[in-house]
Amino acid sequence: MRWLDVVRRSVTPWGWALVATVAVGAVVSRALGWTEALVAAVAAGALIAGAVPWVVGERWARARIGLSAERVPVGSPALALVEISRPTRALTPRQVDLDVGGEDAVLDIPPLEVGGTVLRSVPLDTSRRGLRTIGPATLLRTDPFGVLERRHRLTDTRTLVVHPRTVRLPGGAAGVVRDLDGEAAAERTADDVSFHSLREYAPGDDRRLVHWRSSARYGELLVRQFEPSRRADTLIVVSTDPDEYDGDDFELALSLVGTLGLAALADRRGLRVVESPRSERSGAEPVDAATRERLLDALAVLEPTSDHGIAAAARASRGVSAGSVAWLITGSRASPRTLRTASNGMPSGVVSVVVRAAVGAVPARSRLGDADVVTVGAVEDLARGVRHGAPQ
């Protein structure tokens, strides 16, 4: 039964010793007639009975837990805020314990009047990207003899999301092709905004595209044809193969993904973010990039767990609707051959930019086949490179 489990967990080791004393003393006094054993049993029973009022009844305190911010970038300050009140005339507890990532933070409580409150703050560790579970706040009630103890849960848990650090890029940096003017393409279309030339009318052509003035001049029907303009959508492919990263390279890579993704969203460009596939035959795994918060939340929990690197990720991303530019993000251990394979794996007409995250490396830019290869040692290097023309 549940109440039996509560009783069992409420008895301390000292309390179990007293219980044993009661049982053994009662048996010995009855069997051998020892008065001393009976006295010991009665004394132990009295201690147990005297401890009960200290752990039963209503709580001695109430608490609420909050966060100074639910989402913060790496390294930004964050606090857990605990408000503790005294609801009744019962004695105020001296301390409340707060679980912070598996470790208890002890909050000292001053004497409070009935209905009084006190606010305590606990600094939170934001040095690493990820999720931090804060709470619950608990109150340990025990008696002066240490026979019984009971822990009350005062609050639920809260979650702090620590995002990768990002920087702001110049406008338009996350795309390569302008939105309407586009980039000249080899194919021609009958419906766009960039006029290219005239051609002879063919059955099935839309009569609205007939250029009547030129048709009258040359004595035959001529229709307009256009250059298709491509929207400057952005595709970001990030490798989650731990073999391609060294040290904190993966953390830098996610900062680069977040920086490029936020720049694309700020420019209102189409954005798709994918990670390495789970298997050779599966497609690239999508990362939720619908909004700023959803993108950063997804990056906060992304881990390098795939056996497939940037080459496999680029190849798998061909099934994703690509735009004009693809950023291929990997680590310092990826070989030039792997980078070349990755850039060659993108669809024709898509500008590939390979970014190597190498913490502490000197920023560099090189050419590998038809792709730019940019090496960055810090996320700020990407912003400086874009501002000075690489890659645009």
* pLDDT tens profile 99-148: 998 888 999 988 888 888 999 999 999 999 999 999 999 888 777 888 88
pLDDT at 152: 83
Res. 88: pLDDT tops 50: yes
3 Cβ contact partners less than 8 Å away, ≥ 6 residues apart: none
Alpha-carbon distance of 304 to 313, in angstroms, equals 13
* pLDDT tens profile 342-382: 988 887 777 888 999 999 999 988 888 777 889 999 999 88
Residue 27 phi/psi, 5-degree rounding, is -65, -45
Evaluate whether 365 touches 385 at the Cβ level (below 8 Å): yes
* pLDDT tens profile 204-258: 788 788 888 888 888 888 888 865 555 568 899 999 999 999 999 999 999 999 9
Question: What tokens were used for 118?
Answer: 């006190």
Question: What tokens were used for 368?
Answer: 């590998």
Evaluate whether 131 touches 102 at the Cβ level (below 8 Å): no
Question: What tokens were used for 115?
Answer: 């209905």
User: How many residues are listed for the chain in this entry?
Assistant: 392
* pLDDT tens profile 139-187: 887 778 888 888 888 899 999 999 999 998 876 555 543 332 334 444 4
SS3 198: strand
